[in-house]
Amino acid sequence: MKIQKPVYYGDYLQLPKILNAQAPESAKYGDAAHDETLFIIIHQTYELWFKQILHELESVRTIMHKPFVPSTDLAVINARLERITSIQQILIDQIQVMETMTSLDFMDFRDYLVPASGFQSLQFRLVEARLGIKPEHRMDVEKQFFNSRLKPEDKKILEQAEQETSVLELLEIWLSRMPFSNFENFDFWGAYSKAVEAMLKSDYEIVSSNPSLNDKTRELELKNLEATKETFSTLLDAKKFETWKASGKVRLSQKAMLSAVFIHLYREYPALQMPYKILNSLVEVDEKFTTWRYRHAIMAQRILGTKIGTGGSSGHEYLKATTERNRAFIDLFNLATFLIPKSAIPRLPEVIKGQLDIVYDFVQS
Amino acid sequence: MKIQKPVYYGDYLQLPKILNAQAPESAKYGDAAHDETLFIIIHQTYELWFKQILHELESVRTIMHKPFVPSTDLAVINARLERITSIQQILIDQIQVMETMTSLDFMDFRDYLVPASGFQSLQFRLVEARLGIKPEHRMDVEKQFFNSRLKPEDKKILEQAEQETSVLELLEIWLSRMPFSNFENFDFWGAYSKAVEAMLKSDYEIVSSNPSLNDKTRELELKNLEATKETFSTLLDAKKFETWKASGKVRLSQKAMLSAVFIHLYREYPALQMPYKILNSLVEVDEKFTTWRYRHAIMAQRILGTKIGTGGSSGHEYLKATTERNRAFIDLFNLATFLIPKSAIPRLPEVIKGQLDIVYDFVQS
Amino acid sequence: MKIQKPVYYGDYLQLPKILNAQAPESAKYGDAAHDETLFIIIHQTYELWFKQILHELESVRTIMHKPFVPSTDLAVINARLERITSIQQILIDQIQVMETMTSLDFMDFRDYLVPASGFQSLQFRLVEARLGIKPEHRMDVEKQFFNSRLKPEDKKILEQAEQETSVLELLEIWLSRMPFSNFENFDFWGAYSKAVEAMLKSDYEIVSSNPSLNDKTRELELKNLEATKETFSTLLDAKKFETWKASGKVRLSQKAMLSAVFIHLYREYPALQMPYKILNSLVEVDEKFTTWRYRHAIMAQRILGTKIGTGGSSGHEYLKATTERNRAFIDLFNLATFLIPKSAIPRLPEVIKGQLDIVYDFVQS
Amino acid sequence: MKIQKPVYYGDYLQLPKILNAQAPESAKYGDAAHDETLFIIIHQTYELWFKQILHELESVRTIMHKPFVPSTDLAVINARLERITSIQQILIDQIQVMETMTSLDFMDFRDYLVPASGFQSLQFRLVEARLGIKPEHRMDVEKQFFNSRLKPEDKKILEQAEQETSVLELLEIWLSRMPFSNFENFDFWGAYSKAVEAMLKSDYEIVSSNPSLNDKTRELELKNLEATKETFSTLLDAKKFETWKASGKVRLSQKAMLSAVFIHLYREYPALQMPYKILNSLVEVDEKFTTWRYRHAIMAQRILGTKIGTGGSSGHEYLKATTERNRAFIDLFNLATFLIPKSAIPRLPEVIKGQLDIVYDFVQS
């Protein structure tokens, strides 16, 4: 390697550009508000982090696009997802910095910013699209809410991204490709099905005999159990699953779901350790954005009361409404529904075990 | 002072008691589950912290019970509230430790714990009662949900606590006693009222002329503004306020609310700095419990899926339902609604300023 | 107010500039390293936050430069300091994001960055200078270490800043101006001195009679007590204090130190609540930077091992060395040395109490 | 399963014991100090967490004691280590709760506690012993410091634990058993050695030609490089390594170190993903305790100034001194020293790759 020229810190980071990009609107009206700088800088750091998240998601998508994902790439995928959650924790933590700005401080410059609004962040919409949020998943109010706010050129970029394969779709393809939904010479799902039945029967007895439940609650719990039973049967019945999927209550295909359940049940095997980590990391990505939206909504309400935001809108109502909804990996989040106690998990035949295991530890001779 | 005998660490902390209080149920059935110890210990630390929170709240109540709260006691009140929020942060952080227990791990001992449930924590209910949550604030489902779970003797202790004066009630008395809702020789609230009108007029113009709003959204925003106007008029009109209070939408009296608004507007004066901090700390206490309930509900759902909890109940549904509701100081949280821009805040007459100020900094001669 | 033109989010934040300022060096050599983007973006967010910290410090300095700091400004000063510590917490938290980059990842582009180094951050040096770190406080190795790294024009800006009045100097002036070091008609420091003597006598007895100390430790502790005694006597003796100050072991003047001690002892009075908060916030600012340096050094060592950094230097050794040293407010940090038990604190005469107190809470008639 | 009797929350957690174990000493002297309850409760939660950490370490030791550690157990080991670091984060966070107690508050009851001291915590010493801290690793001052403080029966328990096999020793055995230090038909370490030489040569050129270094610094850096070269040669030379080990600068055997380096370099292979995680988690355990000691020392100094602690001793000096020293896995922490750029890492022969890999992803037909 031949290094051509020395690199200086400030040039490398392009600090002249970065540190001269804060132009408070209030100052333009001869009424500089001290806190507007914070407002600008905190949003700029948010956008820088969104850029980094997109960088990681692009890399994950590129790897998962391969017709065959090499096992050595799985650790890379997971490391990038874990980096994303690590960044998301900063996004959440930064809300505490924003909270050092009081209502009165914000009112000093709020009026100058109309109609700018965080809902005009193209990058955040791109992150959602890359993860797997499609226009059809959004509530009507949400679509209307921010679509009218994006610039035409930004709207176009978003629509393009929404048509490209998302991480959720790539995940489905990857999971469907796995050989876990149908083994030769071993009726795994039959064995699983029996274990489920036994578990539900035990749950039924517990609820029926629980002395601390009053009749009304007991009735409710029993109904709940019936629903759980139906859910399991839906997982295992291709037709029922299809109907379920059509209703929008589940997004992954049956094959993908079965693989995900299998991975959860046998996660200790070397072949499944990293896939399990990946499933977990994706849930974590969803969860961190959920927490971020929630905390953000509370913060906005505390600063604004029931007043309107800079975009002329009650953003916090909207944020609250989407807190729970905009999860790409909700199916993975709900996976615990399909798990059964360790003692009830079917024992794998040695030949399958062999396929999932690696032996590299030796008894010393 | 005469110290009678040396104190040893382990005796002082009564460690033989504390460290021998973990008896996993699973072990009793000959089937020791590794993670049950974590489950026990994390709940024990929660209960220890609840005890500490109750200790702080008792102290706050004792001070606020005085017919006259000395100004030097205000810093003490606030320090104790800030300690509570500091402890609450630990309660929230600890959820991450709980999350190291997976669904499968939990299923190893879940069935042995029936019908034990965190909803049987007497101390947590006492904390809520001390803050100001009364039975009438709870949803029917909530009352039914945990009342059937408490032991009779615990239910009695809780009912007793609910009848005693809460921090919310003491706050109302303290705020009502302040002389800010009615000054001699100065029509403060008239001046405030005019400032409000001017602000709303400006907001109305912004919404009307915002080119980026479509007609439907604009209409919505204008309705929103009308509602805001009505809210302000309710604050200032004793009769309207009474009706509002009767409806349960506000808990504090009009006098108390006006004092709280005044404190927010003139918080920089030495006389109001600590009262302002106290109002803020109370909102923070509410917010931390809200975050804790929310994170707790998500964690439960992730571990349980749609299955039932140890108490034979879908606790996470309940936790989510109460996340937002069980706030004692919701009126203070919404206070931003009544704030106006600094430039519009009425100037106080010198005599009133003098009452709020202290001069102890001197120009050196 | 007349708003001239609508403001859009992306224009307002100058996102085209901000989001196009990442040009990885590795890519220029045809060898794009995935993680270099993270390296750039994390440092850019650091610099944005440094800019915000400087903005807050400028404001604090402007207020404290006044010949008389109005009591209503003290809450503003403290709010700005608390915002700084809130930002510093983010700086610390971000180290976890950096730690998602492994040694191997970093080696992919390390060689391209020579000799860029975080030690070339002008803004960080300016923050130190604004707080009160002067060239004479820096270790020789430190001066040599980074001075050779700054560009000439940056070095000039730093030297200029080092000559201007720092927050530490402004604090000293403000504290010295307070009337607490010498009251008319009340020998406060005489009373304090007697209380100190009593306390040390009790400590002496405790150490002498502590049955769990062996002779060697007891001897050590008694020496320690003698030193404490000498420290107190130095605080109260103008001449001794002067010598102490000349030695560099204390930076504040005796008058300023006495005021700081007084504020700590009587912090509950309305007149002293905010000054007390300010002293505490300054210590907190120091402590957060100390933690940041420490965590930063550990992270660097973990990523680099004993290898050299991008600036061709073992930066982590240097970071560790300065962790504890570069504290501007070390005197405030050590203030606990001069506190005495509440029961021993001299009672103030009513006339002085009256000067520190405000009565605005009334017994209801 | 047959559940014999219902379980109640309060009984299950043994709350009557737990919540009646707080007996402030100050109250016994008729002088109840409000903050002593916090002091007791925070230390009780620390001890509960130490118990949990010991529970996890016991489990890790049991698994690692097996003559052959099944690959499916590795995920269990790592999950338990990650739980420990998750608990350690709480230990660190809790310092913020302790910091809500001021010097003055502490002085209200400090004298009653003599000579109790956190250094008398048997469980914390046991955690250190289980990890791998042996008496010979402790500084003389440290041994003297706390040994004189432990009760004779506690000292005996600790000495027993120090003689048992620690996690560090089990790690060494496990790593030594791995076949990575010597492959048949492939001179891995020869190839590695060549890559190292090339890397050092490049580093040498960078330092020599770096225009921003002055002569003195350059000289220093070149010395540094010589030392790095020597370190590598020590790793690869059995005799030199032995001498190094004898000097106490490294604790693991050469075989174990070589395996650890190999795992780091080829961590992406399924067979090495979990071993890599385990190595990292162990470093993290060390690092969290380091941070905890450091933050603890700072907190103690802030509360005590240069005064003596409850144990009649300047504990913070001691805590600072041991911050860096008491690391069991310092060799793993320093591992980055032995890593080389990805582009220089030797390519493995297919047969070895096959041993490290698992193929379970299929190209869809």
Q: Closest by alpha carbon to D152, among D113, D117, D122, D118? A: D122
Once rounded to an integer, what is the mean pLDDT over residues D271-288? 95
Q: Is D361 on the interface with A (CB under 8 A)?
A: yes
The C-alpha R_g of chain C, in whole angstroms, comes to 25
CB contact under 8 A, D333 and C144: no
Q: Helix A71-98 crosses helix A36-64 at what angle (to 10 degrees)?
A: 170
Name the residue with higher pLDDT: C224 or C325: C224
Best-predicted range by mean pLDDT among A233-242, D105-114, D290-299?
Answer: A233-242
- Residues B333 and B99: their CA atoms lie apart, in Å, by 30
Taking the CA of residue B330 as centre, how many other CA atoms within 13 Å lie in the half-sphere pointing to its CB?
A: 16
Q: What pLDDT is attached to residue C309? A: 47
**Domain with C59 in it: what CATH number?**
1.20.58.480
The percentage of residues in chain C with a pLDDT greater than 70, rounded to a whole number, is 88
DSSP 8-state class, residue C349: P
CB contact under 8 A, C148 and D265: no
Asked if residue C211 belongs to a domain, the reply is: yes
Q: Closest by alpha carbon to B27, among B106, B116, B108, B101? A: B108
Asked if residue D3 belongs to a domain, the reply is: no
Q: What pLDDT is attached to residue C41? A: 98
Chain B: partners with 3+ C-beta pairs within 8 Å = A, C, D
Beta strands in B212-349 (DSSP E): none
Can you read off the two tokens belonging to residue D193?
């050695």
Q: How many domains does chain A have?
A: 1
CB contact under 8 A, A339 and B149: no
Range of the domain at B27: 9-182+254-331
Measured between beta carbons, which residues in chain A are less than 8 angstroms from residue D178?
360-362
Return mean pLDDT, chain C. 87
Nearest CA in chain C to B75: C268
Q: Which of A33-47, B57-71, B287-301, D345-359 has the lowest mean pLDDT?
A: D345-359
Question: Does the predicted model carry a pTM greater than 0.95?
Answer: no
Residue among C6, C174, C268 minimizing CB distance to B72: C268
Per-residue model confidence as pLDDT tens digits over A188-205: 999 999 999 998 898 888
Asked if residue C12 belongs to a domain, the reply is: no
Q: Closest by alpha carbon to B144, among A211, A219, A204, A216? A: A216
Asked if residue C206 belongs to a domain, the reply is: yes
Q: What pLDDT is attached to residue B232? A: 92
Q: Closest by alpha carbon to D203, among C27, C308, C104? A: C308
Q: What pLDDT is attached to residue D318? A: 61
Q: What pLDDT is attached to residue D360? A: 58
For residue B199, count other CB atoms closer than 10 A to its CB: 20
Give the pLDDT band of residue A142 (cuts 50, 70, 90): low
Q: Which of residues 192-231 of A touch D (CB under 8 A)?
A: 202, 206, 209-212
Nearest CA in chain B to D82: B100
Measured between beta carbons, which residues in chain C are less than 8 angstroms from residue A87?
97
CB contact under 8 A, B100 and D116: no
What ipTM was reported for this prediction?
0.92
Name the residue with higher pLDDT: C300 or C279: C279
DSSP for B234-247 reads: HHH-HHHHHHHHHT
Asked if residue C310 belongs to a domain, the reply is: yes
CB contact under 8 A, C291 and D295: yes
Give the pLDDT band of residue D68 (cuts 50, 70, 90): confident
Chain D: partners with 3+ C-beta pairs within 8 Å = A, B, C
Is residue D138 over pLDDT 90?
no
- Residues D68 and C309: their CA atoms lie apart, in Å, by 40
Instruction: Give the closest-approach CA distance of D210 to chain C in angstroms.
Output: 7
**Terminal CA-CA length for chain D:** 46
Measured between beta carbons, which residues in chain B are less than 8 angstroms from residue D154?
10
Asked if residue B357 belongs to a domain, the reply is: no
Q: Closest by alpha carbon to B273, among A205, D268, C269? A: C269
The SS3 assignment for C94 reads coil
Measured between beta carbons, which residues in chain D are less than 8 angstroms from residue B19?
47-48, 51, 123
Return mean pLDDT, chain B. 87
Q: Which residues are CB-neighbours of A209 under 8 A, at least 6 positions away?
A: D3
Is residue C243 over pLDDT 80?
yes
Q: Which residues of B344-359 are buried (b: 16+ CB within 10 A; e: fewer)?
A: bebebeeebeeebbbe
Q: Helix B122-131 crosses helix B36-64 at what angle (to 10 degrees)?
A: 30
Q: How many beta-carbon contacts under 8 Å exist across B and D?
A: 164
Is residue C333 over pLDDT 50?
yes
Name the residue with higher pLDDT: C276 or C350: C276
Q: Which of residues 327-356 of B touch A (CB under 8 A)?
A: 333-343
Per-residue model confidence as pLDDT tens digits over A273-290: 999 999 999 999 999 999
Q: Which of residues 68-107 of A touch C (CB under 8 A)?
A: 79, 82-83, 86-87, 89-90, 93-94, 96-97, 100, 102
- Residues C112 and A340: their CA atoms lie apart, in Å, by 52
**Terminal CA-CA length for chain C:** 46
Is residue A312 over pLDDT 70?
no
Q: Closest by alpha carbon to B133, among B159, B162, B158? A: B162
What are the CA-CA distances from residue D139 to residues A325, B287, C224, D132, D146 (Å)? 57, 47, 21, 15, 11
Asked if residue A269 belongs to a domain, the reply is: yes
Residue among D89, D100, D121 minimizing CB distance to B82: D100
Q: Does a cis peptide bond (omega within 30 degrees of 0) precede residue A115?
A: yes
Asked if residue B224 belongs to a domain, the reply is: no
Taking the CA of residue A116 as centre, how many other CA atoms within 13 Å lie in the half-sphere pointing to its CB?
A: 21
User: Would residue B135 be called left, alpha or beta, if left means φ above 0 and alpha means ψ between -120 and 50 degrees?
Assistant: alpha
